[in-house]
A and B are shown apart, each in its own frame.
Chain A
């Protein structure tokens, strides 16, 4: 819930500036009185503090994890009941352990996930067992998508996917954004990418 609070005050204004002066300031940067300072202000207005995801994303991950755990529990129970020397409750026990670990993992994953819209790059931090921090400079962004799976749609969440021409971090994605947050973030990143023009991004 705190995430929504953090977005709301900026949301309206950012979308407005995004659609109003973004493309234009690129087209006729010349005649403006002080284009550099104006551009710098525009960039600063679009950056964010470090933010975490919507806590609802734990439900999405939790349900996915639950599905996997249930399937595995069924397989394990079936095996433990058919294989002789193994006590028949092993399957259920394994399932319980799996579920506990999975729940802890989902929560930790949510706790670790943060993103930040910096002046020149998008910065992501994530990962439970392996911590991964990615810097995706705006000059390299090819296009920005928002995606919503059925589960996410039901919870009102979106995933923002940022594409670069890179081979490894080819798609940088931020899950668990509320619809408004995702729209806002997409607008910010789009404008910043337009401001940071540098050749064909390859």
Chain B
């Protein structure tokens, strides 16, 4: 099968915009350097030649690109100069996504991405096919994966809608989508620096001292609004449905996404709730496969961006049937450790602010961070209270974080390695952390399943227990 012919002009346009940008820059510099009209005309001619060459290249790319969905594999042969023939067996395909931005929607074309567990990047991309063809490929792959005979008469799997983002929830999402750690940091920094900034910008004007807090408010508000708009654009019209043994979702206002999550490939299920969402009784859900975390490629996005906590929990349980979450908290001495850690961090910040105040011209109220010492015990308690782990019948669950609480559910049969570590500070207090590693490619923000600051002997037990239960879950323990 060939790509959609409209992909040629679109791709030319895409690369053309980049080339034209560079061209304008070159023309401008040559004109300003006074080489005269002829020289800059020459540059433009050269640029046009480059554009024509690129257009030719795109036509060749189109002609030399061929894909086929065979009974066993997805075959793609591509490449203008160096050819690549790629065959991907269905059993190894993790996700199939369809993405369309606004221009592509106007042209009626879409990009298809096929992800497997190997490597960090997308295994196969069809750029671009018609929307109908994209849907057909997606459908065909999921049918073939099920092993269904795709000739006519194959029973359609029952499709049921699991979740649809209501307007109210979209509003809540906008409200809670800002990263509250950043908000908190901005507040502290702004209130520390604002007075000195005001003095620098308008020395001697007593009234303008109010400028500092005003700037802080504006920055905070701006940041909040930007995060809200970003998540609104991203999750507008979100819909999740179950289609046989796959989850399907679609979302996005300008850039429309549509993807599949095969349930048998799910590695971890993570419940995320930030402070505000928790107060309002909302939570979001991330379902990770080995291809990537459902929703995006680079940054991890939610499988369910926001929903009532009980509903999200029920949805999570329908993906991974985990039991009640009775968290085992770290011992109380961990809390002491956090208090000391935060106090030390404040000390460092104060010292840095003092140094800035002393050795640079900036008049910083350097002792201001010390006021936060009052909230250190509270912060330590909150950090402690939000940590914990559950050793369930079929899952190990860990929970961490106050600003953005993450509850990671890992089925035993998805565990890759179990790592138990003790820093020198943890050893002083006989504490240890256990990391349960899986093949999910979530990246940093999704976070691993880590049970932090357990009693050292409990940590060692947990490490061995999880490893044993992995063997039992796979039924591949030693024959004895």
List residues of A whose CB falls within 8 A of some B CB. Answer: 36-37, 39-40, 43, 119-121, 127, 129-137, 139-140, 164-169, 172, 196-200, 202
Residue A134 contacts which of B418, B441, B478 (CB distance < 8 angstroms)? B418
Docked pose: A197 CA to B424 CA in angstroms: 38
Docked Cα-Cα span, A121 to B478, in Å, equals: 10
B-side interface residues, number (CB < 8 Å): 38
CA distance A131 to B441 in the complex (A): 25
Contact B417 A132, beta carbon cutoff 8 Å: no
Interface residue from A130, A167, A169 paired with B423 (Cβ < 8 Å): A130
Q: Is the CB–CB distance between A139 and B417 below 8 Å?
A: no
How many angstroms between the C-alpha atoms of A199 and B475 in the bound complex?
Answer: 11
Given contacts A198-B475, A202-B117, 20 further A-B contacts (CB under 8 A): A36-B479, A37-B479, A127-B421, A129-B423, A130-B421, A130-B424, A132-B420, A134-B417, A136-B416, A137-B417, A139-B474, A140-B415, A165-B117, A166-B416, A166-B437, A168-B448, A172-B417, A197-B476, A199-B474, A200-B92
Q: Name the contact of B417 in the complex, choosing from A43, A169, A200 (C-beta under 8 A).
A: A169
Does B117 lie within 8 Å of A40, measured CB to CB?
Answer: no
B365 is an interface residue with CB less than 8 A from chain A: no
**At the interface, yes or no: B310 with Cβ under 8 Å from chain A?**
no
17 contacts between A and B (CB under 8 A): A36-B479, A37-B479, A120-B477, A129-B423, A130-B424, A132-B421, A133-B463, A136-B416, A137-B471, A139-B471, A164-B416, A164-B437, A167-B440, A167-B441, A169-B416, A198-B475, A202-B290
B438 contacts partner chain A, Cβ-Cβ < 8 Å = yes
Q: A137-B471, A202-B117 are in contact. Are A167 and B438 (CB under 8 A)?
A: yes
B466 → A minimal CB distance (Å): 8
Nearest-neighbor residue (CB-CB) of A166 within chain B: B416
> CA A39 – CA B477 in complex, angstroms?
11
Contacts of B407-448 to chain A: CB distance below 8 A: 415-424, 427, 435, 437-442, 448
Report the minimum CB–CB distance from A83 to chain B (whole Å).
Answer: 15
User: Which among A40, A164, A199 is the interface contact of B478 at CB below 8 angstroms?
Assistant: A40
> Given the complex of chains A and B, what is the CA–CA distance between A164 and B423 in angstroms?
24
B99 part of interface (Cβ distance < 8 Å): no
Q: A202, B437: Cβ atoms under 8 Å?
A: no
Cα A200 to Cα B416 with chains together (Å): 12
B480 CB-CB contact with A under 8 Å = yes
Task: Please state if A131 and B421 are interface contacts (CB–CB under 8 Å).
Answer: yes
Seen from chain B, the residues whose Cβ lies within 8 Å of a Cβ on chain A are 91-92, 117, 265, 267, 290, 415-424, 427, 435, 437-442, 448, 460, 463-464, 467, 470-471, 474-480
Contacts of A199 in B (CB 8 A): 474
A132 to B326, CA, bound (A): 28
> Closest CB-CB distance, B444 to chain A, in whole Å?
10
Closest to A127 in B: B421
Contact check, A130 vs B422: say whether CB atoms are below 8 A apart: yes
- A139 to B427, alpha carbons, bound, how many Å? 31
Contact B467 A121 (CB under 8 A): yes
- Residue from B418, B421, B460, B478 with most neighbouring chain A CB atoms (10 Å): B478
CA distance A136 to B418 in the complex (A): 7
List of 7 A-B pairs having minimum Cβ-Cβ separation, nearest first: A166-B416, A169-B417, A166-B437, A165-B439, A36-B479, A40-B479, A198-B476
* Complex contact B427–A131 (CB within 8 A): yes
B265 CB to closest chain A CB (Å) equals 8
Q: Contacts of A169 on B, CB cut-off 8 Å?
A: 416-417, 419, 435, 437
B427 contact set on A, CB distance < 8 A: 131
| Cβ contact within 8 Å between A133 and B470 | no
In the complex, A167→B471 CA distance in Å? 20
B435 touches A168 (CB 8 A): yes
Contacts of A197 in B (CB 8 A): 476
Q: Report whether A43 and B478 are in contact in the complex, using a CB–CB cutoff of 8 Å.
A: yes
**B-side contacts of A43, CB under 8 Å:** 478-479
B452 CB to nearest A CB, Å: 13
Contacts of A166 in B (CB 8 A): 416-417, 437-439
Question: Shortest Cβ distance from B73 into chain A, in angstroms?
Answer: 16
Residue numbers in B under 8 Å from A139 (CB-CB): 470-471, 474, 476
Are B437 and A135 closer than 8 Å at their CB atoms? no
A167 to B460, CA, bound (A): 21
Among the interface residues B91, B437, B440, which one has the most CB atoms of the partner chain A within 10 A? B437
Nearest CB of chain A from residue B173's CB, rounded to whole Å: 28
Give every chain B residue within 8 A of A39 (Cβ-Cβ). 479
Q: Which residues of B contact A127 (CB under 8 A)?
A: 421
Q: Using A40-B478, A43-B478, A196-B476 as known contacts, say yes or no to A137 and B421 having CB atoms under 8 A apart.
A: no
Q: Which residue of the partner chain, among A119, A129, A132, A196, contacts B419 with CB atoms under 8 Å? A: A132
Is there an interface contact between B437 and A168, defined as CB atoms closer than 8 Å? yes
A28 to B421: give the CA distance in the assembly, Å.
41
| Closest CB in chain A relative to B362 CB, distance in Å | 24
Question: Quick check: A167 and B437 within 8 Å, CB to CB?
Answer: yes
